[in-house]
Amino acid sequence: ATMPPLLSAMANAGRHGVLVKSAVVMERLAQVDAVALDKTGTLTEGTPRVTDVRPLPGGSVTEEELLRLAAAAEHSSEHPLARAVVDAARGRGLDLPPARDFASAPGTGVSAVVDGRTVAVGSPARLLDGGAHPAAAAAAALEEDGRTAVLVTLDGVPAGVLGIADRLRADAAAATAALGALTGSAPVLVTGDNPRAAARLAREAGITDVRAGLLPQDKVAAVREMERAGRRVLVVGDGVNDAPALAAAHTGIAMGRAGSDLALETADAVVVRDELAALPAVVRLARRARRLVV
């Protein structure tokens, strides 16, 4: 017996490394005419590395102490930046003290009590609330170099910044170009990261429409705005911070290899092998199946 077109398209998607959760998703994928992509872990490999450890001049901590406290606070976070910080500390042979009262705010950062002090690690813009502080200048200097800067505060006082770098996926530029051609609209980058690092990476990926510094609900607002303009938006993301946008989108696809459980559960489909080339491939498959169905 021959399989119905939508089912055989789902099977083909599987061969491209995309797990499509239902035949309805295949139909919806065929309709998308705009794409919004997350940056960290989606366009980038999601295995960032700490490149700079900079205590503030005149501050109270050494380089090693700054990294040790930050890593202890990040220990319970599943964010790619957290893993980078923990790996950097381990790489220097530092022992991580236990942390308690861990809390995380998607799109902002984490905090925990370590060695009796409250350690926060996260977005300089959010932790400093846009205020002028020597730490903001230190972060901006790293961001000019395309780094993601994270601020470390001790009991609310800025102690230093970490510079973190991630690589664009090898097939990012080709995949976004193909998605742009297929949908007839310029792909949009939606990221919680800083505008400087976002712009630099977007340039490498050939993306011109960049929305940076977004909280999870801002990503939802960006998608809704595109949908009000008559677009059916495909959202691609990997993080907890992407889950609301994945849910709000016409179709949501999660990057599976390092994706957070929440993103994988919320998305309509999952890219299992983490190849961005699979995205235009499944859109083409979905469209072909629709032509056979109608």
Binding site for ligand ADP (CB under 6 A): 38-41, 74, 77, 79, 81-82, 107-110, 121-123, 148, 150, 191-193, 239, 241
Closest approach of ligand ADP to the CB of residue 288, in Å:
32
Q: Which of residues 4-23 bind Mg ion (CB under 5 A)?
A: none
**DSSP conformational letter for 71:** H
How many C-alpha atoms does 30 have within 13 Å on its Cβ side? Answer: 19
Binding partner selected for residue 110 from Mg ion, ligand ADP, none, CB under the kind-specific 5 to 8 Å limit: ligand ADP
Q: Contacts with Mg ion: how many residues (CB under 5 A)? A: 5
- Is 275 a binding residue for Mg ion by CB under 5 A? The answer is no
- 38 assigned to active site: yes
Nearer to Mg ion, 107 or 163 (CB): 107
Nearer to ligand ADP, 102 or 173 (CB): 102
Closest approach of Mg ion to the CB of residue 79, in Å:
8
Nearer to Mg ion, 80 or 158 (CB): 80
Closest approach of Mg ion to the CB of residue 173, in Å:
18
Binding partner selected for residue 121 from Mg ion, ligand ADP, none, CB under the kind-specific 5 to 8 Å limit: ligand ADP
Binding partner selected for residue 185 from Mg ion, ligand ADP, none, CB under the kind-specific 5 to 8 Å limit: none
The DSSP secondary structure of 205-271, one letter per residue, reads HT--EEE-S--HHHHHHHHHHHHHTT--EEEEE-SGGGHHHHHHSSEEEEE-SS--HHHHHHSSEEE
Sheet containing strand 148-154, edge to edge, reads: 49-55, 157-165, 148-154, 117-122, 109-114, 99-105
Those residues with Cβ within 8 angstroms of residue 215's Cβ, 6 or more apart along the chain or in another chain: 106, 107, 108, 192, 241
C-alpha 181/C-alpha 41 separation (Å) is 23
- Is 40 a binding residue for Mg ion by CB under 5 A? The answer is yes
Residue 144: alpha-carbon gap to chain centroid: 19
Rg (CA), the chain: 20
Select the span of 109-117, 158-166, 237-245, 257-265 touching Mg ion (CB under 5 A). Answer: 237-245
Binding partner selected for residue 158 from ligand ADP, Mg ion, none, CB under the kind-specific 5 to 8 Å limit: none
What is the longest distance spanned by two Cα atoms in the chain? 75
Question: What is the amino acid identity at position 274?
Answer: D
- Is 45 a binding residue for Mg ion by CB under 5 A? The answer is no
Closest approach of ligand ADP to the CB of residue 22, in Å:
26
CA separation (Å) from 247 to 72, 105, 109, 221, 230?
A: 32, 19, 22, 12, 18
- Is 38 a binding residue for Mg ion by CB under 5 A? The answer is yes
Please name which of 1, 94, 89, 80 lies closest in space to residue 38, comparing C-alpha atoms: 80
Binding partner selected for residue 123 from ligand ADP, Mg ion, none, CB under the kind-specific 5 to 8 Å limit: ligand ADP
Residues 106, 239, 252, 259: which binds Mg ion (CB under 5 A)? 239
**8 A C-beta contact, residue 144 and residue 246:** no
Write out the catalytic residue numbers: 38
